Amino acid sequence: MKTLKLHPLMTISLLQMQIQRLLHCNVAVYIHHSLASKFDTLREAGLIEEAMVEYPIDETLSLREFEEELEEKFNFSLELCNKDSKPFTNKSLRLFQITPCQETDAGKQLDISLELLARQVRSSNQQNRAV
C-alpha cells in the first residue's frame, strides 16, 4: 500500500518528490488559485493539521477523484501532471494506470523527517529575507 505523508512544515517541493515517487507523475499545487512556489509549505497551501498525517492512497481512484479527495480532506488544491508538467487530459485515468517514464530506485526512502522539514523552513526563511 502506498502512503502519502503530509506535514504542515513540508514544502511543496517535498510533496512533489513524494508524488513522483509514489505515483510516477508530477503535481502542481495551488494556493488561492495561484501556482504555489516550491518553497511554500503545506500549511501556507491550506493544510490545517498540526502533525504528520499518513494518507493511504487508493490506486483505484481516478485522477479527478484523487485530486478532489485531497482537496476536500486537506484544504489545498493540486493537479496531477505528466512528466512534462502538463495536466493530464484524461482525468478518468486510474492512478494505477500511470506508467513511470523513467527508472527509479524502488527501495529509496524519502526523508521527510521533522529535522529535514525544519532545515528547509529555516533555509526558505533565509532566502525570503535575502530577497
Listed by start position, the domains of the chain span 3-130
- What tens digit of pLDDT does each residue of 15-71 get? 999 999 999 999 999 988 889 999 999 999 999 999 999 999 999 999 999 999 999
At residue 6, the pLDDT reads 95
Pairing type for strands 53-56 and 3-6 reads: antiparallel
pTM: 0.73
Q: Are 44 and 8 in contact (CB under 8 A)?
A: no
- What tens digit of pLDDT does each residue of 71-119 get? 999 988 999 999 888 999 999 999 999 987 554 444 445 555 666 667 7
49, amino acid identity: E
**In this structure, what DSSP letter does residue 94 have?**
B
Mean per-residue pLDDT over the chain, rounded: 85
Helices (H), 62-113: 63-74
Cα 61 from Cα 128, distance rounded (Å) = 38
Using CB atoms within 10 Å of the CB of residue 29, give its burial: 0 to 12 exposed, 13 to 18 middle, 19+ buried: buried
At residue 105, the pLDDT reads 44
pLDDT for residue 129 is more than 90: no
Strand partners, 55: 4
DSSP string, 4-58: EEE-TT-BHHHHHHHHHHHHSSEEEEEETTEEPPTT-BHHHHT---SS-EEEE--
Tell me the average pLDDT across 109-130: 67
